[in-house]
């Protein structure tokens, strides 16, 4: 990719997507940083997960199929930062590290060009590469269609699948898990797709015991990657899917992939499904004012009998080209996702018992990776932060961080934009314990051309001022999701 004919931004993106530095254990001293780690963050940690190995043998895997690579950035009391990075030692990682090439199929990557060699491996392999959070005495690395993997929180050593006493053995568990801070519960969502789609939400207490279960069936086959929740509801995007019969047949025969065998069903309107938490009552289906394919939700809460939901929605979506993936023999290209329309951030209001919602566009910018106060799930929260583009015409890859003031949605957005060849990851909000509207934003900035990743720390109430602190690291692969762990 280091050719004068390839745009610098494309070179940078490709380098950052394909980076694979392997296990790391290093300390960045205070004098190697620009600025200093704010004392309010001392003792806290940033966690990050994403594909850390995508060029596997002589094939480039779709990022969804790259092996999970967990990063932990400990912000120490002496002002230094300790980075630990390690692969999640799933059976597929171990097999492919041993073989030196792809062994199993993924969602969007075949192990072989010859279709008959893929036939016996129709179930995508679990690579534990999508989310990371702490629950009790373990970290959980989530993936989209299997169990999360438990890791030692100090060493990142893989303990194995976390099955919660066998409750989710063999089930597809969404990578996104949500925490009910008020009740001290972790929520897992299991999904079974068919003519209709079955959902089971399991609520887990701090001892890993399942203390509540909600089951529901939604009409049709729907795409679900994330959900929102309040004390009364689990909230899903309607996201109707259409099977492409020829592509599905190809996938089942070992050619093509599962991801490219489905597409959004544009014949059906944007909808939300509201599932009564605890299973009390039927699923409510609510029609939205326009097309909406929701991948990520922000927060949700109830106010005077109305339900308020913040969601990032595409008007349309094409599977398979995420992160600029172009196939097993092509470089990553940031122009591919730019060709589709950006996700729009809406505040959706469902009045009372109505089955028709209204929505308010919260910013003209496209927004993804929405994050908010980690202890405000289901209750009003002052800020939503997300990854965005400065130019409102474009979707990802992201070059900016946005802050939306949810206390006054007419207030101007906060925006900070990175240099041209630097890419912005999910912004994590580390709130002040005394004032939930104050705190810091922590985000990874990827500079493929400069061969560097920076952990940047911002004043959450003044993003435009730019980073207070820049902590430099070797180039790390682009990550998906992370979490911030408060001290202690
Ligand atoms: Fe996600």
pTM of the model: 0.94
User: Does 250 have pLDDT greater than 60?
Assistant: no
Q: Ligand 1 mean position to 348 CA, how many Å? A: 20
Q: Ligand 1 mean position to 304 CA, how many Å? A: 30
Q: Ligand 1 mean position to 265 CA, how many Å? A: 21
Q: Ligand 1 mean position to 39 CA, how many Å? A: 30
Digit-coded pLDDT (tens) for 461-483: 999 999 999 999 999 999 999 99
Q: Ligand 1 mean position to 225 CA, how many Å? A: 6
Q: Ligand 1 mean position to 148 CA, how many Å? A: 14
| Alpha-carbon gap, residue 365 to 387, rounded angstroms | 10
Q: Ligand 1 mean position to 475 CA, how many Å? A: 22
Q: Ligand 1 mean position to 420 CA, how many Å? A: 25
Percent of the chain scored above 70 by pLDDT? 90
Q: Ligand 1 mean position to 36 CA, how many Å? A: 31
Split at pLDDT 50, 70, 90, the class of 341 is confident
- Per-residue pLDDT, 395: 85
Q: Ligand 1 mean position to 327 CA, how many Å? A: 21
Split at pLDDT 50, 70, 90, the class of 223 is confident
- Per-residue pLDDT, 265: 66
The two tokens of residue 171 are 């089930």
User: Does 117 have pLDDT greater than 80?
Assistant: no
Q: Ligand 1 mean position to 390 CA, how many Å? A: 21
The residues spanned by each domain of the chain are 8-129+216-485
User: How does strand 69-75 pair with strand 81-87?
Assistant: antiparallel
Q: Ligand 1 mean position to 481 CA, how many Å? A: 7
């Amino acid at each position: 990719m280091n050719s004068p004919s390839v745009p610098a931004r494309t070179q940078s993106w490709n380098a950052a997507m394909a980076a694979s530095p392997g296990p790391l254990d290093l300390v960045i001293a205070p004098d190697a940083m620009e600025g200093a780690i704010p004392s309010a963050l001392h003792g806290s940690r940033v966690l990050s997960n994403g594909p850390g190995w995508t060029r596997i043998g002589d094939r480039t895997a779709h990022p969804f199929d790259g092996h999970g690579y967990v990063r932990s950035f400990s912000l120490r009391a002496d002002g230094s930062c300790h980075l630990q990075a390690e692969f999640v030692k799933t059976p597929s990682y171990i097999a492919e590290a041993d073989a030196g090439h792809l062994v199993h199929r993924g969602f969007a990557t075949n192990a072989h060009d010859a279709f008959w060699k893929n036939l016996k491996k129709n179930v995508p392999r679990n690579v534990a590469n999508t989310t990371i959070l702490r629950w009790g005495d373990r970290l959980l690395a989530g993936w989209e269609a299997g169990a999360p993997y438990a890791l030692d929180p100090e060493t990142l050593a893989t303990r194995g699948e976390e099955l919660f006493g066998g409750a989710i053995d063999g089930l597809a568990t969404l990578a996104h898990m949500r925490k009910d801070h008020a009740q001290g519960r972790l929520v897992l969502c299991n999904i079974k797709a068919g003519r209709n789609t079955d959902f089971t939400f399991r609520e887990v207490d701090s001892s890993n015991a399942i203390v509540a279960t909600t089951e529901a069936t939604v009409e049709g086959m729907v795409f679900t990657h994330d959900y929102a929740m309040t004390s009364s509801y689990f909230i899903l995007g309607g996201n109707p899917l259409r099977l492409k019969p020829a592509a599905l047949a190809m996938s089942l025969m070992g050619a093509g992939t599962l991801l490219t065998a489905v597409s959004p069903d544009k014949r059906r309107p944007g909808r939300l499904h509201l599932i009564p938490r605890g299973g009390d009552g039927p699923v409510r289906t609510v029609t939205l004012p326009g097309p909406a394919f929701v991948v990520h939700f922000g927060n949700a809460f109830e106010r005077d009998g109305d339900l308020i939901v913040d969601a990032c929605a595409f008007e349309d979506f094409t599977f398979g080209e995420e992160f600029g993936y172009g196939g097993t023999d092509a470089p990553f290209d940031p122009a591919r996702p730019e060709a589709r329309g950006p996700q729009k951030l809406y505040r959706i209001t469902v009045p009372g018992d109505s089955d028709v919602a209204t929505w308010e566009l919260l910013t003209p910018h496209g927004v993804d990776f929405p994050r908010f106060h980690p202890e405000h799930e289901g209750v009003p929260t002052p800020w939503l932060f997300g990854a965005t583009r400065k130019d409102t015409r474009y979707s990802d890859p992201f070059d900016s961080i946005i802050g939306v003031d949810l206390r006054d949605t007419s207030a101007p957005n906060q925006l900070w934009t990175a240099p041209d060849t630097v890419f912005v990851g999910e912004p994590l909000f580390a709130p002040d314990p005394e004032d939930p509207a104050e705190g810091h934003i922590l985000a990874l900035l990827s500079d493929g051309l400069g061969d560097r990743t920076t952990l940047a720390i911002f004043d959450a109430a003044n993003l435009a001022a730019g980073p207070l602190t820049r902590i430099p690291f070797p180039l790390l692969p682009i990550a998906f999701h992370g979490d911030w762990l408060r001290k202690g």
